[in-house]
Amino acid sequence: MILIVGGAGYIGSHVNKALNEAGYETVILDNLSYGHKEAVKWGEFCECDLSNIDDVDEMFNKYDINAVMHFSSFIDVGESVTNPEKYYNNNVVNTMNLLHVMLDHDVKKFIFSSTCATYGVPQSIPLTEAHPQSPINPYGRTKLMVEQILKDYDEAYGLKSIILRYFNASGADESGIIGESHNPETHLIPLILDAAIGKRDDIKIYGTDYDTPDGTCIRDYIHVTDLASAHIKALEYLTENNTSNNFNLGNGHGFSVREVIDSVKNVTGREFKVSEIERRPGDPAVLIGSSKKAEDLLGWIPEYGDIDDIIRTAWTWHQELNKE
């Protein structure tokens, strides 16, 4: 059985679906602080908090767990600057609790959601796994710390891990029954869709004077269904090779904020107001990843390279989410 920690969240719920479709049995651990019970449509569900080691231990007694995928971390970069304790506690301390219980139960396969934010300001584009890791905010540092812990735990305890560094997770499952829903929402695509659906007066572009062709930031938007398939490939790799490794997961193409807005207008057929405001602190001009290593070693082939496809699936879900 595969344990999905944070399986009621955006990426975890998509991976849960993919695992079940691939024939795996899953158990989902989530404290529902940010996750949604309705997103757990497959597998067994345990409402449990990683800060409570006894509860986590009980879960490991109850289920025959052979690998763990860990998605439950806080992700708001700005909040991590103003309230770092919240981030170090959850993203680092709680992860250590989970690893502690795993080792107690001799479970030694771990797949970890990391981020391109561990690289910090890019020295070269596209970012490869060999790029130096020098995060510029507490959020990125919490993820890098766990990466370092995992390296030490492999050497000392033989705990094998696959670290997956996501670029900008986006889109929704084609079915329209699960998707992205954060509260508060800070991510570009759901915010634009809010403007398109009339829930927001406008979309604000953070900075139009970057050194990019249209002056707005460029990001690598990777579809959540592609992230999900990469997790299955990572699990297979870990099972076959019993060796730790790390991989970038991006689609290799960058889209500017303006291109994403144009795609939303094109896909939804809706008009909305676009405001241009000052830069958001800490945003690099361009973040694009190379996922060649994942393609070569995992045999992973992302399917959603086109921004309109990403927006189309996100829009279907967004309409479902905002139904009266």
Q: Based on CB atoms, which residue is closest to ligand UDP, 3 or 195?
A: 195
- Tell me if residue 157 is catalytic: no
Cβ neighbours of residue 188 closer than 8 Å, sequence gap 6 or more: 168, 219, 257, 260
Whole-number Cα distances in Å, 76 to 14, 100, 151, 317: 20, 26, 25, 22
Q: How far is the CB of 86 from ligand UDP (least distance, A)?
A: 18
Closest CA to 254 of 138, 158, 122: 122
We find the least distance from the C-beta atom of residue 85 to ligand UDP, in angstroms, to be 22
Strand 221-223 versus strand 273-277 pairing type: unpaired
Least distance (Å) between residue 220 CB and ligand UDP = 9
3-state SS, residue 162: strand
139, 166, 221, 237: the active-site residue: 139
Comparison of 147 and 220: residue with beta carbon closer to ligand UDP: 220
Cis peptide before 138 (omega within 30 of 0): no
- Smallest distance, Å, CB 168 to ligand UDP? 5
**Residue 108 or 143 with smaller CB distance to ligand UDP:** 143
DSSP string for 259-301: HHHHHHHHHH----EEEEEPPPTT--SEE-B--HHIIIII---
Helices (H), 76-223: 77-82, 84-87, 95-104, 138-157, 188-197
Task: State in angstroms the smallest separation of the CB of 284 from ligand UDP.
Answer: 8
From 4, 17, 2, select the one nearest 176 (Cα to Cα).
17
Q: Which residue is nearest to ligand UDP (CB)?
A: 217
To ligand UDP, the closest distance from the beta carbon of 103 in angstroms equals 32
281 versus 299: smaller Cβ distance to ligand UDP: 281
Interface residues with ligand UDP (CB under 6 A)?
A: 168, 186-188, 191, 203-206, 217, 219, 257, 280, 283
CA separation for the pair 206, 215 (Å, rounded): 10
Beta bridge partners of 29: 5, 46
Closer residue to ligand UDP (CB): 18 or 205: 205
- Which is nearer to ligand UDP, 80 or 161 (by Cβ)? 80
Q: Which residues pair with 274 in a beta bridge?
A: 203
The residues annotated as belonging to the active site are 139
